[in-house]
Chains A and B, each alone.
Chain A
Amino acid sequence: MSPDAIRDALFACLGQIAPEAEASEIDPGRSLREQLDLDSMDFLRFAVAVHGRLGVEIPEADYPRLATLESAIAYLGEKVGR
């Protein structure tokens, strides 16, 4: 799966949780929680949505790797690629 495809999937998941978020305005290197004002419930729903869409297991210990768009694309790239 290409990084672009993963990025699109992540945007779709974020759209479910923060519908007002503009994909083009998200800074890929900055914390998603901070930029989109996600609380811990929102963030968990985001992780569940990513799991549902991409079919990857995401242990709780790996949640920090979903923190930014950049780190999430790298992490999921490893997971999906395998």
Chain B
Amino acid sequence: MLEFRMPSLGADMEAGTLTRWLVKPGDRVERGDIVAVVETEKSDIDVEIWEGGVIENLLVGPGERVPVGTLLATLRPLTPAAAPPPAPPPQASPAPAPQAAEPAAPKTPPQPAPPTAPPSTAAPPARATPAGPTPASSPAARARAAELGVDLTTLSGSGPGGAVLLSDVERAAAGAPTAAPSAPPPALLSPALPEPSPRDRAASMRRAIGAAMARSKREIPHYYLAAEVDLSRALGWLTAENARRPIEQRLLPAVLLLKATSLAVAKVPELNGFWENDAFRPGAGVHLGVAISIRGGGLIAPALHDADTKSLSELMAGLTDLVQRARAGSLRSSEMSDPTITVTNLGDQGVEAVYGVIYPPQVALVGFGRIRERPWAEDGRVSARPTVTATLAADHRASDGHRGAIFLTTLAAVLQEPEKL
């Protein structure tokens, strides 16, 4: 039997509220499928499952808030092949109580999961169909549907359990007249739970950020370095490149900085990973956490996975998607749990430099200030060049200033050859 537990979606998360299930007992899921939506202090997160299987029991109902690590569901493994697994072991009690559900926790009336699974022989592992007239949907899909005036009940979803995904909504909208632009968005259709008010969400986000940052300042011996980086070549190359691209495919300078950061950190691996149990654990791949400010307050730093191996176009598409989903509240669990280093870019706000607070258990944070023309001396001459101040805040337990300096020098060098990014 496989166990699906409440994941840790960042150092600032201790518990999460299961907002809704996107699967039901008997559904077959693949690794990476989104099976549930969990609300944390910061955002709604689409939670992916890490192993494929057939859903057996859902042990926590919508609306229940449970600590990280609580068993949420059990699954039958898919292997071996298609052979029907043996009958579930006989239950001692005729009414097995879901062991993870806390007895005191209030149950919301429509408990989606009967505690007993349907017999495997009678339940072909087919994709689920929507359970009712209102299909399950991802938060991004709901937000986009409201924006576009698409009626979710008219859609058939292509997601797990027939869930309506963002792409389904966009497809439907493409074939339908768009709503009058000035019309107020229609109310979201029967969300599983009342949405928290923006003020509550902002207050709880502030608390979560405060707790994580206090822990960082208490536990992590930070050191800080800064370097001025000449961007004249990088931006010259970018201007020429963007002139060739249609507007939808143009790149932002931030994407060059992200790619350069990921290449440089791959050369100084002790900045890329986690400090856990008094030891450094290197990250498997460079998963760049990108600090994204939420309109109305707060911030969240989900991961761009394997940024060092992606092309600039792929990173731009990934960043655009991440920003939109961060603001719509539909990030995925993997994006929340595994950034190996974080980048914050406050250049748009006009600051010269940002000295960041490391997001535990990570060991480094890279900051960029505003790109602007400054006097630059080279070969005995002074000229005006676009430059940026790059900073590194790093954990002295995992690295020291010498290695940190190599990172910043490498970053600057990589940006002098933009065509290789």
List A residues at the B interface (Cβ < 8 Å): 8-9, 11-12, 15-16, 18-20, 23, 37, 39-41, 44-45, 47-48, 51, 57-60
Contacts and interface: CB of A to CB of B under 8 A. Distances in A.
Interface residues of B, number: 20
Interface stretch (B114-122, B239-247, B351-359, B388-396): B239-247
10 contacts: A8-B181, A9-B181, A11-B181, A11-B182, A19-B147, A37-B295, A40-B254, A41-B323, A44-B252, A58-B247
| Complex A-B, nearest 7 residue pairs according to Cβ-Cβ distance, in ascending order | A12-B181, A39-B348, A60-B242, A51-B247, A41-B323, A40-B348, A48-B247
Interface in B230-266: 239, 242-243, 247-248, 250, 252-254
A16 B295 contact: no
Nearest to A21: B295
Question: Which secondary structure characterizes the binding site on chain B?
Answer: helix
Given A18-B295, A39-B348, A44-B252, A57 B247 contact: yes
Given A11-B181, A40-B348, A48-B247, A16 B147 contact: yes
B296 A15 contact: no
B326 to A, nearest CB: 11
Given A12-B181, A15-B181, A18-B295, A60 B250 contact: yes
B293 interface: yes
Contact of B254 (A41, A51, A57): A41
A44 B247 CA distance: 9
Contacts of B247: 47-48, 51, 57-58
Nearest to A44: B252
